[in-house]
Structure 1
Amino acid sequence: MNLFYEDVELGTSHTTPDHRITEADIADFCRLTRDHHPLHTDAEYARDAGFPGIIVHGLYGLSLMEGLKTELHLYDESSIASLGWDKVRFLKPLVAGDVIHVEMDFTAKRESKGRGIVTEAVRLLRGDEVVIDAEHVSLIRKRG
């Protein structure tokens, strides 16, 4: 699937395949971002803070939302830029072993200088439970 501005229908929903988070994923994100807070590296510290073990960085969860959404191939030939993430809420912690997926809906669209701006409601879910809720705005090409 490859959507251009004209193809986007408000209310349309898309769901990604599942993805399992691993301890190695969390460690890799720590290394890449230089965020080695003990909540993400020390299971005992995380347990003392009330979690079952080390937790996923909120920003890693947000990054996964974009990555999983990209695997849908909605904008392979039409994407110009991400204009930003708004209304981001980290609702529940994620831990290694959690299986997640993304659900997204098109909520708004408008033309801008010969291109299109599309707004998506995006949710990261563990089963039926929303873990991260956000809004994403994309700049995409029009046909022709």
Structure 2
Amino acid sequence: MSDTHDIYFDDVVVGAKFTTDSHAITAADIARFCDLTRDHHPLHTDADYAGSRGFGGVIAHGLYGLALMEGLKTELKLYQNSSIASLGWDRVRFLRPVIAGDVVRVGFEFTEKRTSSRPGRGIVIETLRLLNQRDECVIEAQHSALLACRSDATS
């Protein structure tokens, strides 16, 4: 595929940075996440209630923002054939609300890499930031991923 840019463990350069396309958050997106997760708290469903709590409209669930970070990153198609597993998220911080109408994007960089105890694979750490239209960081986190080694993929 010409639109795939696989990065294998061998290709990872600590300090390399990437930015995703933007995504506009809608109240309908938030409502679908409410339905999917069964979390219908009024902060996510009632603009008047959210306003009474100091927000400018319904706010997205923190976990919606975190999941969206992974989805936007996936659209870059960096790991189409090299990804083995997500090993987890660490140091997740919800710094500012994500409000319906915000336009967000992800900036991330590789901050660590190490070989795995199993041959043919390695672990990378990505530091990610979800940024709104004002370039404010609304969510920050670290993600650990298990990637195949390029040499293993060709054998």
Q: TM-score when scaled to structure 1?
A: 0.98
Match of 2:130 in 1: 124
Q: Which runs of 5+ in 2 are unaligned?
A: none
Of 80, 90, 98 in structure 2, the residue corresponding to residue 76 of structure 1 is: 80
Q: Cα offset for 1:52?
A: 1.0
Q: Cα offset for 1:104?
A: 0.4
Match of 2:46 in 1: 42
Q: How does 1:1-144 map to 2 (within 5 A)?
A: 1-112=5-116, 113-114=118-119, 115-127=121-133, 128-143=135-150, 144=152
Cα shift readout 1:25-78 (whole Å, capped 9, x = no counterpart): 000000000000010011111111111111000000000000000001111001
The sequence identity of aligned pairs, in percent, is 62
Q: Which runs of 5+ in 1 are unaligned?
A: none
List 4+ stretches of structure 1 deviating above 3 A.
none
Q: Decide which structure has greater strand share.
A: 1
Q: Cα offset for 1:83?
A: 0.4
Count of residues in correspondence between the two structures:
144
Letter in 1 for 2:142: E
Matched position secondary structure for 1:102 = strand
Q: CA RMSD in A?
A: 0.6
Q: Cα offset for 1:97?
A: 1.0
CA distance in 2, matches of 1:6, 1:142: 6
Letter in 2 for 1:117: I
CA distance in 1, matches of 2:100, 2:54: 16
